[in-house]
Structure 1
Amino acid sequence: MHKILRKTTMFIGLAAMALASPHGAWAAGKKIGIAAREITNDYNRGIIDGARKVLEAAGDSVVVTDAQTDPRKLNEDIENLINSHVDGIIVQLGNAQQLAPEVAKANAAHIPVVTTSVGALTPGAVTDIDGDDALMSALMSRALLSSINYKGDVYVFSVPGAPILETRKRILEAMVKDYPQVHLHDVPTQHDPAQVQSQMEDILTANPDPGSIAAVWGAYDLLTSGAVQAIRAAGRPEIKVASIDGDRVGFQMLMEKGSPFIATVVQDVPHIGELAGQAMIDALAGKKDFPATMYTDAYVATHDNAVAAAEKRWGPDVWQKIQLDPKAVAAQWPQTGQVVVVRPTLP
């Protein structure tokens, strides 16, 4: 109840801030476009929902487009939003270089652009808002590497060309340089768990002996779920798996009996959207001095803090959503661990 009251108070406060902004007069009734590269998982939906709540609390309307993982369509969607005369655009995911021409077109039309999960400030954008991908990858990679005692063959599933995923993978590669007994195997893939499952099945077939595969590193939970499915079907629970996001599917994998999944890094996804919505309100009210990037908190969910971590991210009704019993989880893995929230320290 306290959490609900805090959130309600926050949104009322955000609306009040918008209506009485120190940066200029705010007229409710703005039309804001959210251009998403894809809407496939809880991460995507959480950002959109967070932004929508803040903007609608301020009296604005929101229109959402879905490029279905196609960067070219994302650019087309942004152009269509510009041509439809929206007052502001929030972009979810993408590449700063690829987005720059579209942001320039929006600027020419006096339409502010806020980006989320791009991983860098696009020239002309107000700000970029993310989880700290370098920090989250360090947390997840540490958990995975320690689970295999820093030795063995690790298969790395990521999507080439996705900037925040490239960052996550680079951090792993940098860490592994200190551990010569760890051998990384790059497995480029697409945003498709079914493709990952097929790729993992081939890897398992080529490496049938227990111990021949130490671990699987996945760039994000939904993507990694394909590898977990393949490992479970092959009866190879000795293989350790971890990824990032704290999606509901991530918690399901973490807490299901017999799952090889050992950790996910949970990020405050709704707050990414909330910050984006507030940045848009402030930009339209005349504010100019935004930081280039803003980051949200994160924490590691493992077997020994899974119940508290799941409820922190999703609330007490998470158990109906993921169809698991917290008492059964605690019976299998005593809940002795704490949820330790970390955040980047910025000047």
Structure 2
Amino acid sequence: MTIRALRLAAAAGAAIIALAAAGNAADAAGGKKIGIAAREITNDYNRGIIEGARKVLEAAGDTVVVADGQADPRKHNDNIENLVNAHVDGIIIQLGDAQQLAPVVAKATAAGIPVVTTSVGAKTEGALTDVGGDEALMGTLMSRALLSSINYQGDVYVVWVPGAPLLETRKRILEAMVKDYPKVKLHEVPTEHSPAKVQSQIEDILTANPDPGSVAAVWGAYDLLTSGAVQAIRQAGRNEIKVASIDGDRVGFQMLLEDGSPFVATVAQDVPHIGELAGQTMLQALDGKKEFPSSMFTDAYVVTHSNGVAAAEKRWGKDVWKDIQIDPKDVTARWPQDGSILVVHPTLP
């Protein structure tokens, strides 16, 4: 499956999830009705959280209804308010800004509806907890891998979406690290949640910087977004440029393990467990529990050429090779699989 096909599959998967959820809500009887409000459903990360939560909640006999904000923060908030007005029993919010979410979360709590957020990056006032990856930790791991690949020197183009809290955190970590390496120069490439737009932006940058070495690397905020940069680099024949990002989506593994790809690292998250923890928290809240940690974190690990086969199967199972249309034997022939998977988790008191 090509990168473009994986993108199309992501869009199709989003529609299927929303329709299936609506059908479940209409047909199911008994149990609680839990709303999941996703800011967008565009990639494996979004779908993984939803499916993780769905698995836990439906196993408990509850019904799940999914609302897709389509990457529009206003629509996202409207969806949450609509769930409140529909008198659901609980709401799980995926992505968003804690300050922007606070007013609608307040409406939910005023109506006696418990709220759990996922991947907001901070606790929203009124929410029980925020579940996600440790963004500062993952940002450090990915930025370290990318900077090391260019020997801590050269021009690095930073692709992110301004105002997206998790992406802003990841970018701030890079900026802090680079202060120790004066030979690294960062160039901001603000964009939208669109791989096609990123591809066009990087094509323009490569046209303006045609000489080998004039662009050392592209730092991408997340895998699907970064796929546009990889496409531009490969089409320009500039595979000396290094690229890395975060999430461990299937498109990330495809970019990493394809022959000749400039993509050198991703940080894989235990995305389904984010949803599972959110679902478990919701069940506990509905059962009367009131006190929860402000934040809950899941595991992550750096994926490179040297551990790519084991990491792909750890994240996606052995069927991943059919999805990304790569033979693991070819990967092993290109890169010795002698790297270990080092799972990291924040240690809290």
Q: TM-score, normalising length from structure 1? A: 0.92
**Could you tell me which residue of structure 2 aligns to residue 220 of structure 1?**
222
* Matching of residues 196-275 of structure 1 within 5 Å: 196-275=198-277
In the other structure, the counterpart of 1:20 is none
Q: 2: CA distance between counterparts of 1:170 and 1:284? A: 37
Letter matched to residue 204 of structure 1? L
Cα deviation, residue 220, structure 1: 0.1
SS for the counterpart of 2:342 is coil
The C-alpha deviation readout for 1:221-243, integer Å capped at 9, x for no partner, is 00000000000000001000000
CA distance in 1, matches of 2:135, 2:281: 20
1:314 corresponds to which residue?
316
Q: How does 1:19-168 map to 2 (within 5 A)?
A: 29-168=31-170
2:343 to 331, 341, 347: 341
Could you tell me how far apart the structure 2 residues matched to 1:119 and 1:107 are?
A: 20
Counterpart pick for 2:180 among 178, 182, 197: 178
Q: Distance in 2 between matches of 1:81 and 1:59?
A: 19
Letter in 2 for 1:149: N
> What is the CA distance between 1:109 and its match in structure 2?
0.5
Residue by residue over 1:27-69, the C-alpha shift from the partner in whole angstroms, topping out at 9 and shown as x without a partner, is x700000000000000000000000000000000000010100
- The unaligned stretches of length 5 or more in structure 1 are 1-27
d(CA) in 1 for partners of 2:322 and 2:153? 38
Shift of 1:209: 0.1
Partner of 1:292 in structure 2? 294
> Equivalent residue for 1:4?
none
SS of aligned partner of 2:329: helix
The count of residues paired between Structure 1 and Structure 2 equals 321
Could you tell me how far apart the structure 2 residues matched to 1:288 and 1:340 are? 34
Shift of 1:317: 1.0
In the other structure, the counterpart of 2:281 is: 279
What is the rounded CA distance, in whole Å, between the counterparts of 2:110 and 2:338 in structure 1?
A: 55
For 1:107 and 1:132, how far apart are their aligned partners in 2?
26
Q: Does 1:301 align with 2:303?
A: yes
Instruction: Give the deviation of 1:285 after TM superposition.
Output: 0.8
State the SS of the aligned residue for 1:114. strand
Taking the aligned partners of 1:141 and 1:342, their CA distance within structure 2 comes to 15
TM-score by length of 2: 0.91
- Structure 2 gaps of 5+ residues are 1-29
Once residues 313 and 154 of structure 2 are traced to their aligned partners in structure 1, the CA distance between those partners, rounded to angstroms, is: 34
Q: How far has the Cα of 1:140 moved from its partner?
A: 0.3
In structure 1, what is the Cα distance between the partners aligned to 2:291 and 2:116?
Answer: 13
2:322 and 2:262 map into 1 onto residues whose CA distance is: 23
Q: What is the CA–CA distance in structure 1 between the aligned matches of 2:271 and 2:224, rounded to whole Å?
A: 15
Q: Which letter does structure 2 place at the counterpart of 1:184?
A: L
1:174 and 1:279 map into 2 onto residues whose CA distance is 34
Q: What is the Cα deviation at residue 70 of structure 1?
A: 0.1
Per-residue displacement from partner, 1:224-270 (whole Å, max 9, x unpaired)? 00000000000001000000000000000000011100000000000
Report the CA distance between 1:321 and its aligned residue: 1.1
Cα offset, 1:162, TM superposition: 0.4
1:323 to 322, 325, 329: 325
- Secondary structure at the aligned position of 1:303 is classed as coil
Amino acid at match of 1:153: D
Q: For each residue in 1:152-190, what CA deviation from the matched residue of structure 2 results, as whole angstroms up to 9, or x when unmatched?
A: 000000000000100000000000000000000011000
Aligned mates of 1:126, 1:281 — CA distance in 2: 12
State how far apart, in whole Å, the 1-side matches of 2:62 and 2:125 are: 26
Cα deviation, residue 288, structure 1: 1.1
The answer for the alignment partner of 2:3 in structure 1 is none
Deviation at 1:90, TM superposition (A): 0.2
User: Paired residue for 2:14?
Assistant: none
Q: Give the CA deviation at 1:303.
A: 0.2
- Report the 3-state secondary structure (helix = DSSP H, G, I; strand = E; otherwise coil) of the residue aligned with 1:62: strand
**Displacement over 2 Å in runs of 4+:** none
Aligned residue number for residue 193 of structure 1: 195
Distance in 2, Cα, partners of 1:35 & 1:204: 38
